[in-house]
Structure 1
Amino acid sequence: MDQKWTALLEDIAYDMTHQKRGRAILINNENFDNHKQRKGTDVDAKRIQKCFIELGFEVVRKNDKKVSEMMNLLEKESQRDHSTSDCLVVIILSHGEEGRVFGTDYAVHLDQLTTLFDSTNCPSLAGKPKLFFIQACRGTDFDDGVVVKSDDEPDGIGMDSHGFALDQDFLLAFATVNGYYSWRNRKNGSWFIQALCDVFSRHSNTLDLLSMMTRVNNSVAFTYQSSQSTGGKKQIPCMISKLTKDLYFTPKSKR
């Protein structure tokens, strides 16, 4: 590759040539103190763990964590030296409500998690992508009377996108838009995670992240629909991007 093209890539794309791809922290909450069990989430966890391993990440999976344990896990991660890594990924599979995600005991504001990795709290990730993938509902409280008797069921309690203290170079990808359910199948996992892993496995060598996320939106919107017993509902993911460059998961050269 000539120097001119290399310089152009440095201007428009993140540097993904560090020694390591980075770590992907996967929090998979299935069993809760006061909320319905999220059956099918282990299917999601297994699938997305495999997906990010294939992208070169060191995946750290933790199941059924209380809020204090989630905070402790991510605080420790923010204190690590990420200077030899391309980026960081945080994946949360859980219930959610009004700007919060649930541990197995209660909820925590999402901005309390994201700010742990801003330039002040995690300087070794300054200028690098911090990617959050959130599989949870963002709408009406499931416990207030939405009864689903099929394998397709809403995935939580609700989440609002307001009030996030986001630094630059963050991306938050949500399974659904504010105010709506995120659907999860007990046998096959959630629509969002199925689509995300399928798109990433097909296109990660050729497309940038935002282009892939557009294809995830397309897949969820046009491929999936809940059973007739739940009214044939649809879903559309969305994201909040403060990325400042294109992000390509350029394959790591074998050493």
Structure 2
Amino acid sequence: MDTTKKLTIETLEELVDKDLKVFIWHLWNGVGSEIEPISRSKIENADRYEVVDKMVQQYSDNAGTIAVKVLQNMKQMDLAQNLEFKLAEVEQPEQEEPIQSDWIRPQSIVLCKQVFKDKILKDKRNEVYIPKDAYQRKRLALLITNIQFQHLGNRDGAEKDEENMEWLLEALGYRVEKHRNLTGKEIDAAVRNFAAHSDHKDSDSTFVVLMSHGGRIGNKDVILGANDSSDYFFVDDIFTHLSSENCPALIDKPKVILIQGSRGKCSDVYIQDRPPESDSTVYRKDMVCFMSCLPNSNSYRHRISGSYFIMYIVDVFSKCAHNKDIMELFTKVISRMEKHDLANRNVHMLPCIENNTLRRKFYLFPGL
């Protein structure tokens, strides 16, 4: 509330005394049929600070929004737009408590306001990825979840991860291609086929989400396939398949990869020699990979509620994607997970960002 008052007062200070009187006149004569006017006797001779105090007393959390409406009625469009944008940027106090096993997914995602999107695209046009209009785009996302394995333990709770990620991606405007329990070769084929999808030409971005047991071979991250032994997919191959050469439809468009899986040594998996490295000339840009843990460490999952990494992503994106770019969202997830003391066992979780070649800020603008 203090921030709303401060922003509203700063805006009213841009009005000359004559215009302030017009602003006050609108308040006592009524802003709209659904908004109760403020008594003339309370504000007729009030200064800017007193006017804002009376508005907050009468309208509470809606005081800033009503100030925008009054300015619009006065044809003070620049002031109205600037105030609306600043109010849209203001974050409500966010619950920063660690996510527990009884975490429930938010009922809905906070939608972006048109004024915020317009302001970003106007003021930072050369600094952000420009989205396509909703009516003409075809956003695609790939979601692969391995739950059952022939030899390793099943990933109980991963069904909830799949459900939550599908919900989030759809809420962000993506049509989700979903696969379960794939072998390493099938994962590779699924990513290749996804990269070749013709609808990418009408898209402005993409997400690829892989969730499975994971590990490291040498210094390379792998996702384990459902057959376990000698069955894996190198994470690096995602970047190759989505490169400018192999996926030209996504050139200059942000490509976000999310990996849920441990990154310890695959000591219980028979490892064949790594195939020859891909051609180093393959151009990998406009990509970022967010991984659930640091190299040589484990990722943690609740057997009913799912993986903590996925829970934090869904929670943060649902509440903050309306006015934060993708890197700010990742940073929030990292900050919250770093503080998470898992079940009071002094087990700390720290996801990390890797292979970041994004050249601009990527805003998701949910709902627009």
TM-score range, shorter chain: 0.7 to 0.9
Q: Give the counterpart of 1:200 among 317, 342, 356.
A: 317
Structure with the higher fraction of residues in helix conformation:
2
Confirm or deny: 8 A CA contact 2:205 2:250 kept in the other structure: yes
- Unaligned segments of structure 2, at least 5 residues: 1-114, 270-276
RMSD: 2.3
Give the C-alpha shift of residue 191 in structure 1: 1.0
Q: Which of structures 1 and 2 has the bigger CA Rg?
A: 2
- Structure 1 runs (4+) deviating above 4 angstroms are 3-8, 140-144, 163-166
For CA contacts below 8 A with separation 6 or more, give which structure has more relative contact order.
1
Listed one character per residue, the Cα deviations across residues 166-218 of structure 1 (whole Å, up to 9, x for unaligned) are 71111100001111111111111111100000000001111000001000011
Matched, 1:12 2:12: no
Structure with the higher fraction of residues in strand conformation:
1
Aligned equivalent of 1:104: 226
Letter in 1 for 2:255: K
State the identity as a percent. 25
Letter in 2 for 1:225: D
Aligned ranges 1:170-185 → 2 under 5 Å: 170-185=287-302
Confirm or deny: 8 A CA contact 1:91 1:133 kept in the other structure: yes
Specify the SS of the correspondent of 1:83: helix
Letter in 2 for 1:179: N
Confirm or deny: 8 A CA contact 2:288 2:358 kept in the other structure: yes
Matched, 1:130 2:255: yes
- Unaligned segments of structure 1, at least 5 residues: 145-162
Specify the SS of the correspondent of 1:89: strand
Q: Structure 1 residues 9, 21: closer, same or farther in 2, change over 3 A?
A: farther
Aligned equivalent of 1:120: 245
Aligned equivalent of 1:239: 353
Listed one character per residue, the Cα deviations across residues 218-251 of structure 1 (whole Å, up to 9, x for unaligned) are 12111x33335xx431111001111110000124
Specify the SS of the correspondent of 2:347: coil
CA distance in structure 2 between the aligned counterparts of 1:219 and 1:60, rounded to whole angstroms: 29
Aligned ranges 1:39-54 → 2 under 5 Å: 39-54=156-171
Aligned equivalent of 2:109: none
Q: TM-score, normalised by structure 2?
A: 0.59
Q: Structure 1 residues 4, 64: closer, same or farther in 2, change over 3 A?
A: closer
Give the C-alpha shift of residue 51 in structure 1: 0.8
Specify the SS of the correspondent of 2:167: helix
Aligned ranges 1:1-255 → 2 under 5 Å: 6=121, 8-18=123-133, 19-20=136-137, 22-81=139-198, 82-98=200-216, 99-105=221-227, 106-141=231-266, 167-222=284-339, 224-227=340-343, 231-240=345-354, 241-253=356-368
Give the C-alpha shift of residue 32 in structure 1: 1.3
Listed one character per residue, the Cα deviations across residues 62-95 of structure 1 (whole Å, up to 9, x for unaligned) are 1111122212221111112211101111100101
Q: How many aligned positions are there?
A: 231
Specify the SS of the correspondent of 1:127: coil
Letter in 1 for 2:261: A
Confirm or deny: 8 A CA contact 1:29 1:93 kept in the other structure: yes
Aligned equivalent of 2:52: none
Confirm or deny: 8 A CA contact 1:220 1:237 kept in the other structure: yes
Give the C-alpha shift of residue 252 in structure 1: 5.0
